[in-house]
Amino acid sequence: MSRIKNPPPANIVIFGGKGDLAWRKLIPAFYNLYIGGFLPKNFAIYGVHYEKQDEKWYESYMLEGINTFSRSGKAKPKEWKAFAQNLYYFEGDFTADDTFRRLGETLDANDKKWRNRAVRLFYYSVSPKFIDDISIGLSKYDLAANVSLDRIVVEKPFGSDLQSAKDLNKLLLAKFKEKQIYRIDHYLGKETVQNLMAFRFANIFFESLWNHNYIEHVQITVAENIGVGSRGNYYETAGALRDMIQNHLFQLLCVTAMEPPVTTDAEEIRNKKVDVLKAVRPFNKDNIQSNAIRGQYGEGKVNGKTQQAYRKEKNVNPKSDVETYAALKLYIDNWRWQGVPFYLRTGKSLQKASSVIAIQFKQVPLCVFKPNAIPDRRPNQLIISIQPEMETTLVFQAKEPGVEMKIKPVEMDFTYHDNYDTAVPEAYETLLLDVLEGDAALFMRADQVEQAWKVVMPVIDNWAATTEKFPNYNAGSWGPKAADELIKADGFDWILLPEAKQPAIKKKTKK
Ligand code: BG6
């Protein structure tokens, strides 16, 4: 079942092995890869954490994580037992030499047992302040010295501004080669985001329209209906621009706007993506005010339940100026996208969870139909829903059956639900398997991360130097008024999935 034949054995080390990410995402992802037959015959997973813990306790805690969060539901006892034989708790302080010495002995012993130098995957699922210590430890004991087999996975946040991202890259590159570093952005592992590549580059018909001649504007929305929950501590240091726009939304932007690659090689894909970010027209003091909008939620009702104001959330400063909503209007100054506005928005505690890329095409040059024959002259739209719905919808005009000429918009839908029986893997499954196989195409290169920070830096600086009257949107709404005005000023509206926004449109009968 493996993607590659006879994958080499693997030693997987998760620093922060007892943390939330390991519990909710990483171990369930490895478990699903295991039951899907994608892990090598010989593998071992070590969850490194400083506390003394009983091995049995660790196993049962991780089982609870799988039973709660795994997409395949509760673990089957037989499969779990077999998987758990390869899962170990590894007590170790990230700042102590001894941790890395013992780790080295353990990994070497596995290599010997398996009679093969295993791939080593070191996952930094830790607070950024430990990245230095772990890198020093790994390098001091030569644990990741084999450039072609040893891989370092670094979670976001990758820096908190351009300078800190540069420092972090410098630090990692002093110990490891770029080829070994996998900067993860889980959005790139999402099935629908990968499908955007297939959609654009495995089909002929959209490419000829995919430019400023035919596209009027592009919208990228990542709306969440949850608040910051228990993550107030982290969120106070981040905000929507750093937490979502600089990484996840920019990744969506890159996949939407990139030039066709020549191959799917990591370097080729990453070159094309970084070109997009390099072409983004820089924000400056004259355009920031009108092109960058921020918001913070106040109390409101989401799905009928009261959501408290951000300033009331746990570990949040009651006078916090941190934004929980951000919207940007930007331009990509290259031939393909000259003059086409891209609107990006994301926010927490919004009315509905919905991540959508919407392409609005230009109007036909001349409408030959009388206004009463075509009352809704909506231009063609291509709406790609990333989540929770996974569907692509093409909105176009069609004649209603009847003796009169009556034209109305209709939809053509492609949904995962109607087309496939196969289960959709979690983003982390795809990405972790890519790391094991040494494919970095879906990971960010140093220059791409830095370029993404470069784009948002003027906004970060401007927002730090100015204040906004917060809260400025109610939980359960669609965000601040100013964000609606941003897009309305250009004559457009935010587009959501057609059924959310345009219930009048009749859906195609499902097969
Ligand atoms: C994370 C952010 O990277 O992505 C969170 O830190 C956000 O604030 C999350 O909620 C969204 O991811 P997803 O996969 O649920 O859209």
Overall average pLDDT of the 9-18 stretch: 97
The CA 243 to ligand 1 mean position distance, Å, reads 8
Range of the domain at 133: 10-155
Same domain, 321 and 417: yes
The CA 99 to ligand 1 mean position distance, Å, reads 31
Same domain, 194 and 275: yes
pLDDT level of residue 504 (50, 70, 90 thresholds): very low
The CA 345 to ligand 1 mean position distance, Å, reads 14
Residue 502 belongs to some domain of the structure: no
Same domain, 300 and 398: yes
Instruction: For residues 27 and 24, give the distance between their C-alpha atoms in angstroms, rounded to a whole number.
Output: 7
Overall average pLDDT of the 500-510 stretch: 43
pLDDT at 486 over 50: yes
Q: Which CATH number covers residue 298? A: 3.30.360.10
**Exposed, middle or buried, 299 (CB in 10 Å: 0-12/13-18/19+)?**
middle
Same domain, 212 and 87: no
Residue 23 belongs to some domain of the structure: yes
Same domain, 206 and 136: no
Residue 351 belongs to some domain of the structure: yes
pLDDT value, residue 282: 96
Last residue of a domain, one of 155, 176, 206: 155
Nearest CA to ligand 1 atom 15: 224
Going from the C-alpha of 486 to that of each of 69, 380, 482, the distances in angstroms are 38, 22, 6
Q: What mean pLDDT is reported for the chain? A: 94
Quote helix, strand, coil % in the chain, to nearest 5: 40, 20, 40
pLDDT at 505 over 60: no
Tell which one of 155, 160, 188, 224 to mutate to probe ligand 1, the residue whose CB is within 8 A of the most ligand atoms. 224
Residue 121 belongs to some domain of the structure: yes
Residue 126 belongs to some domain of the structure: yes
The verdict on whether residue 132 carries a ligand-binding annotation is no
Last residue of a domain, one of 104, 135, 155: 155
Q: Which CATH number covers residue 100? A: 3.40.50.720
Same domain, 96 and 225: no
The verdict on whether residue 224 carries a ligand-binding annotation is yes
pLDDT value, residue 499: 58
Write the pLDDT tens digit of every residue in 386-399.
Answer: 999 899 999 999 99
The verdict on whether residue 243 carries a ligand-binding annotation is yes
The structural domain count of the chain equals 2
Last residue of a domain, one of 107, 132, 155: 155
Going from the C-alpha of 76 to that of each of 73, 82, 428, the distances in angstroms are 9, 10, 21
CA of residue 333 relative to chain centroid, distance? 24
Please give the number of the atom of ligand 1 that sits closest to the Cα of 235.
Answer: 8
Same domain, 99 and 231: no
pLDDT at 6 over 80: no
The CA 185 to ligand 1 mean position distance, Å, reads 10
Same domain, 148 and 201: no
Residues with CB under 6 A from ligand 1: 156, 186, 224, 243
Overall average pLDDT of the 424-449 stretch: 96
Instruction: For residues 177 and 173, give the distance between their C-alpha atoms in angstroms, rounded to a whole number.
Output: 6
- What are phi and psi for residue 272, nearest 5 degrees? -65, -35
Nearest CA to ligand 1 atom 8: 243
For residues 45 and 12, the answer to whether their CB atoms sit within 8 Å is yes
Q: Is the peptide bond before 157 cis (omega within 30 degrees of 0)?
A: yes
Please give the number of the atom of ligand 1 that sits closest to the Cα of 427.
Answer: 14
pLDDT level of residue 506 (50, 70, 90 thresholds): very low
Map tokens 């996952």 to a residue: 123
pLDDT value, residue 501: 44
Same domain, 324 and 471: yes
Map tokens 């899962």 to a residue: 87
The tokens for 408 are: 């109305």
Same domain, 120 and 217: no
Tell which one of 125, 194, 243, 313 to mutate to probe ligand 1, the residue whose CB is within 8 A of the most ligand atoms. 243
How many CB atoms lie under 10 A from the CB of residue 112? 10
The CA 240 to ligand 1 mean position distance, Å, reads 10
302-331: b (≥16 Cβ within 10 Å) or e: beeeebbbbbebeebeeebbbbbbbbbbbb
Going from the C-alpha of 310 to that of each of 223, 297, 471, the distances in angstroms are 16, 6, 8
Tell which one of 20, 158, 187, 357 to mutate to probe ligand 1, the residue whose CB is within 8 A of the most ligand atoms. 187
Give me the percent of the chain exceeding a pLDDT of 90: 92
For residues 27 and 33, the answer to whether their CB atoms sit within 8 Å is no
Please give the number of the atom of ligand 1 that sits closest to the Cα of 226.
Answer: 10
Q: What is the CA radius of gyration of the chain?
A: 24
Same domain, 17 and 133: yes
Residue 176 belongs to some domain of the structure: no
Q: Is the peptide bond before 379 cis (omega within 30 degrees of 0)?
A: no
Residue 507 belongs to some domain of the structure: no
Write the pLDDT tens digit of every residue in 337-367.
Answer: 999 999 999 999 999 999 999 999 999 999 9
Please give the number of the atom of ligand 1 that sits closest to the Cα of 353.
Answer: 16
pLDDT value, residue 509: 43
Overall average pLDDT of the 371-379 stretch: 94
Same domain, 68 and 199: no
Nearest CA to ligand 1 atom 13: 187
For the annotated catalytic residues, the residue numbers are 248
pLDDT value, residue 507: 46
Residue 174 belongs to some domain of the structure: no
